[in-house]
Amino acid sequence: MNSPDALPAGQREIAQFPRFGLSQFADRFPGQPAATSLRIVGAVANEIEIENALAELPRVEQLSDFHCVTTWSHLSLRWSGVRFRDFYERIIVPRAAPRNGSGFVVLRAQDGYRSCLLLEDLLGADVLLADTLNGQPLSIEHGAPLRLVAPAHYGYKSVKHLSRIEFCFDDRGYRPAAFRFMEHPRARVALEERGRWVSGWLLRYLYRPLVGVTITRFDKAMRAYRGSNG
Ligand SMILES: Nc1nc2c(c(=O)[nH]1)N[C@H]1C(S)=C(S)[C@@H](COP(=O)(O)O)O[C@H]1N2
Ligand SMILES: [Mo]
């Protein structure tokens, strides 16, 4: 039985909020952790680069839980930034003019990571472009200078070090960062859409053994980076 504040199916709370991701990204870091510009490309009338992407938009603060597909959850993170929906309606539409039907969006990051979401999911009221976490500017660990936060979707959709937003008509040209079965196009936590072709509960058991080693690996890489970058 689920109590009202129970975790989503298959998730377990952890006390820390680790730096995390696919192991091949542990040693990759943003080239320009202070540059808050975003490029809007793909199926748009004008490909543009927006400096200070959040500057002209209303700021919001949001408490949300974070659910990684590998089954760890960290509760009650306090993000602030702007709603993706405001950024879309007030900046992307008037300046870049996405083509009708370009509802598949690829999100790319300074470390080479990428993920995708449907435009309709990105327009959800709880999807943010965040630049602070728990009252502090985003750290490199958690996505400086700017990250997506999409709490209703598994963490792999919440792209850190966001640099480029690409509008597409479909997923044909898109090459996921991980194996294809590991990236569900929507990845809704409430529906346990962990991946495709393989059921969510089975993936729980495949992923769970990776959590500890991945946290250690990302932490070690971060220490090495701090050691050589002051
Ligand atoms: N740029 C980038 N974004 C990323 C990742 C990454 O490796 N690089 N990993 C994803 C995964 S799998 C998760 S669970 C979250 C982890 O966010 P955190 O490191 O702030 O905990 O970031 C997501 N976004
Ligand atoms: Mo994740």
User: pLDDT tens digits for 94-124?
Assistant: 999 999 999 999 999 999 999 999 999 999 9
Per-residue pLDDT band at 2 (split at 50, 70, 90): very low
pTM, two decimals, is: 0.97
The answer, yes or no, to whether residue 3 has pLDDT greater than 60, is no
Q: Which ligand is nearest to the CA of 161?
A: 1
Rounded Cα distance, 51 and 165, in Å: 14
Provide the 3-class DSSP secondary structure of residue 17: coil
Per-residue pLDDT band at 1 (split at 50, 70, 90): very low
Residues counted in the chain? 230
Ligand 1 atom nearest the C-alpha of 218 is: 19
**From ligand 1's centre to the CA of 172, what distance in Å?**
24
Rounded to 5 degrees, φ, ψ at 129 are -100, 110
Helices (H), the chain: 84-87, 93-96, 119-122, 200-207, 210-229
Tell me if 22 sits within 8 A of 178, measured CB to CB.
yes
Rounded Cα distance, 225 and 114, in Å: 21
| Model confidence pLDDT, tens digit, residues 152-196 | 999 999 999 999 999 999 999 999 999 999 999 999 999 999 999
Q: Which is more confidently placed, 4 or 101?
A: 101
Q: Look at ligand 1, atom 23, and give the residue with the nearest C-alpha.
A: 156
Characterize 40-55 residue by residue with b for buried, 16 or more Cβ atoms within 10 angstroms of its Cβ, and e for exposed: bbbbbeeeeebeebbe
Residues with CB in 5 Å of ion ligand 2 = 68-69, 155-156
- Token pair in block for residue 114: 């990428």
Q: Average per-residue pLDDT in the chain?
A: 96
Rounded Cα distance, 149 and 83, in Å: 9
Per-residue pLDDT band at 230 (split at 50, 70, 90): low
Ligand 1 atom nearest the C-alpha of 112 is: 1
- Token pair in block for residue 127: 């999807």
The answer, yes or no, to whether residue 49 has pLDDT greater than 80, is yes
Provide the 3-class DSSP secondary structure of residue 139: coil
Q: Look at ligand 1, atom 19, and give the residue with the nearest C-alpha.
A: 19
Walk across the sheet containing 114-118 and list its strands: 48-50, 38-42, 162-168, 104-109, 114-118
Write down the pLDDT at residue 36: 87
